[in-house]
Structures are given as C-alpha cells and as structure tokens.
Chain A
Amino acid sequence: MTDVATEEVVEGAAEHGAEHGAGLAFHPLDQFKITRLFGEGPIEWYTPTNATLWMALAVVAIVVIFVFGSKGRALIPSRLQSIGEMAYGFVYKMVEDVAGHDGAKFFPLIMTLFVFILSANMLGLIPGSFTPTSHIAVTAILGFGFFIFVTLLGFAKNGAHFLGLFWMSDAPLILRPIIAVIEVISYFVRPVSHSIRLAGNIMAGHAVMKVFAAFAPMILISAIGVVVTPVSVLAITAIYALEVLVAFIQAYVFTILACVYLKDALHPGH
C-alpha cells in the first residue's frame, strides 16, 4: 500500500509541480471504486468487477467454513467446524429469542444475511481489498429487500391485522391517529437506516484508515515525518483493531434488526 501511495505522490508532484510541496496523496475514497476485473470498457450489469471478486471470495469463505468445515460431521469438532457451529448457534439463538419459535423457519434467510455481511466485512479488512458492504447499492438491496419481504410476509400472515402494528390500542384515543402517522413514517424509515448504518460504518472506518495511511509516508518527504509517521502507523493499527470489532458488530446489528423486523411481521400486536 505504501508503495502505491508513494508512486501516486510522485505522479501528483510531477503533475502539479512546486505548489504541491507536501506531496502527500489523499485518495481515501479510491478504495471504493468499482473497476473491471478484465480489460477496458464500460461497466455493464454483467461485467465481472472487483465487487464480483470479493463477493465471490465471501462465498468461498462461507463454503470453506460451513461446508468443508463440517464435512467430517465430527462429534468432537475440528476448529473450522467449531466456527461453523458457533455461528449457527449464535444466529439460531438470536432468531429464536427475538422473532420467536415460528421465526426459526426463516433461520436460513437470516443466516444468509449474517454470514454474507460478516464475511464481506472481514475480507474487506485485508489490505488492498474491496468491501462490497461499503456500498450503499449493496446494503440498500439487503435492507430494502428484507423490508419488502417482511412487509409482504406480515400481510400474508396477518392480513389486515398487520396494520395493528401502527395502531396503538393502549394509547389514548385522541393520540392514536397521530401515533399511527409517526409509526408509519418510522416503519418506512427502517430500511433506510438499516442499510445506511452498515454502509456508512464500513465506509467511514475504511476511509479514516486510508487518510492515516496517506500520512504514513511523510517521513520520506519532510523532517516532521519523524513524528507524523509513527503516529499515523499507530493510529492505523488502533483503527484497524476497532474496525475488526465494527465489522462484527455491524453484521450483528444488521442481523438482529432483521430479526426484530421479522418479529413485527409475525407478531404485529404490541
């Protein structure tokens, strides 16, 4: 990464001459660019891109952990099998605790969301990688897709009773229409916050790391780098540790909110 940054510094300095004295290259958002994997040309809907690659790697990681890991069906699990079993138990318990016993039917769906987001986030922490979950297009499809799914499910399971979700029968009668309006608005805001929360967290963390990374080669340019470079390296390390936590927590938050929305669809009564 440092090599690339220095190259860019050189290029930038060549282009802009003396005015660009410091010569540091800040491209914190370049890591989010969608690029073709092969050749040149426009990005069509079917073009294999870096997003395709890292989603495919997420699939590979999931297959390795959950399919090859559990291949032995060992009574005393191997390490890989333990990871799979722990993730299974973790998500299954979450679905059952939050969405209730009949929510367990949708366990594979919730598990798909969790493992996809978690593995995409974690793979995204590999230096030089691309993080699909940092893109609003991806998280919006996840968030809105799940929103449409639970809304349809709510009407299919409960019919018109699903609207009881918005009608607080234990509130004073005068307040009920007002509360209903607020509830409807908050219901439709759900997928927005659901998807922006994930993309925003992942993007912000990665961008901050990249900003600190841009300061790291300062020692090659000026004397103040003796201070700046170690500080930025330490900062990258600290933020990286935080990002590992965020990668898990955001996957967890997305999943548990999905469970809550599922619960509302299955049991709309308050």
Chain B
Amino acid sequence: MATETTASEVTHGAAEAAEAAGMPQLDFSTFPNQIFWLLVTLVVIYFVLSRVALPRIGSVLAERKGTITNDLAAAEELKQKAVGAEKAYNDALVSARAEAAKIVAAAKADIQKDLDKALAKADAEIAAKASESEKRIAEIRAGAMDAVTEVAKDTAKELVAALGGKADARAVTAAVTAALKG
C-alpha cells in the first residue's frame, strides 16, 4: 500500500502518469511492440534450434551412444578372451603339475633302483668280508689252541724235570690233553 501511494506521489503530474499509476504490464500501448518482437524471437529460436542445434546435438548423442555400445561390446569380447586365456593358463598349469609329478616319480624310482642295487652290493661285500673274517678268526683260534697245547706240554715237561722226575713224554702229553679238555 505504501509502495503504491509513494510511487504515485513521486510521479504525480508526470507525462506518463497513466501508466505509472498501474502496472506497466497493463499498458496496452506497448502490446503490439512486445508481441511483434516476441514472434520474431520465437521464430529465430525455432529455426536455430530445429535447423542447426537440435539435429547436431541429437547426432552427437546418438554417436556417443553408439560408441559406448561398441566399446561395451568390445569390452565384453575382451573379457571373454581374458576368461579363455585364464582357462588355458590353468589347464597348462594343471598339465605341467602332472608332468612334474610324473618326472618326480620316475626320478624317485630310478634313485630307488640305484639305491637297492648299491645296498645289495654293499650287503654282499659285507657278507663276504664277514665270512672271510670269521674264517681267519677260526684259523687264528685253531692256531692259538695248538700253540697253547704245545706250550702246556713243554711247560709240563719242564716242570716235571725241574721237580726231579723223569718225565714220560707220552704220559705228560696225555695228561695235558686231558686237562685241556677239562
């Protein structure tokens, strides 16, 4: 209210009193002007948009959509390839593992064979050496027994002689042999 009274007071008496009192929007004398320029503006905008701007933007959007679709398809294809490559890699890995296991088993068998052979050989050698040693031990033992009998007979004869007796060689030998068997 204050607005209207002040506005009318200020411009009171001025040449454009009629329009200042009301809204410029209701000043019908300017309508033909506004309508004319509005129609010009709308026609210009319509032609700029429909002839140049909208077809161009539409084609850019369509092109982008196409590019994105193609790129997605290519990405899908590459993904399939990657999956295939991964599968091939895994297959290769599995077969390589199997191969390796086979080689390990063969090597183990070879080694086992060599080992067995070497063990058998060593056993045989050990057995040969042991029997030889036993033989020698037996020989040595027999030799030692003979020597002991001899020494015992001699010692007995000497003892008998030293004690002043006349040693009967035969009797002494028989006695020593009996004692040794004892």
Contact = CB atoms under 8 A, between A and B. Distances in A.
A32 B7 CA distance: 14
A25 B56 CA distance: 50
Contacts of B34: 34, 49, 51, 132, 135, 137-138
Contacts of B67: 75
B162 interface: no
B59 A116 contact: no
Given A45-B33, A85-B57, A89-B61, A27 B45 contact: no
B29 A43 contact: yes
Interface stretch (B20-28, B77-85, B98-106, B110-118): B20-28
A49 B33 CA distance: 8
Interface in B21-60: 23-27, 29-42, 44-46, 48-50, 52-54, 56-60
Interface residues of A, number: 60
Most chain B C-beta atoms within 10 Å of own C-beta, residue among A28, A33, A115, A199: A33
Contacts of B56: 67, 70, 73
B24 to A, nearest CB: 4
A43 B30 contact: yes
What range describes how many residues of B lie at the interface?
35 or more
Contact of B38 (A28, A34, A55, A81): A55
Contact of B45 (A46, A81, A115): A115
B40 to A, nearest CB: 8
Given A88-B58, A108-B49, A34 B24 contact: yes
Contacts of B25: 32, 134-137, 199, 203
A123 B60 CA distance: 28
Interface string B1-29: 01100110110000000010001111101
Contact of A16 (B9, B53, B59): B9
Given A24-B6, A25-B10, A138 B53 contact: no
A62 B39 CA distance: 16
30 contacts: A16-B9, A16-B10, A25-B10, A26-B2, A28-B3, A29-B7, A33-B19, A44-B32, A45-B35, A46-B33, A49-B30, A55-B40, A55-B41, A58-B45, A66-B54, A67-B48, A70-B57, A70-B60, A73-B59, A84-B53, A88-B54, A107-B54, A112-B42, A112-B49, A115-B49, A116-B45, A132-B38, A134-B25, A135-B34, A142-B38
Among all A-B residue pairs, the 5 with the closest Cβ atoms: A66-B53, A45-B32, A108-B50, A34-B30, A55-B41
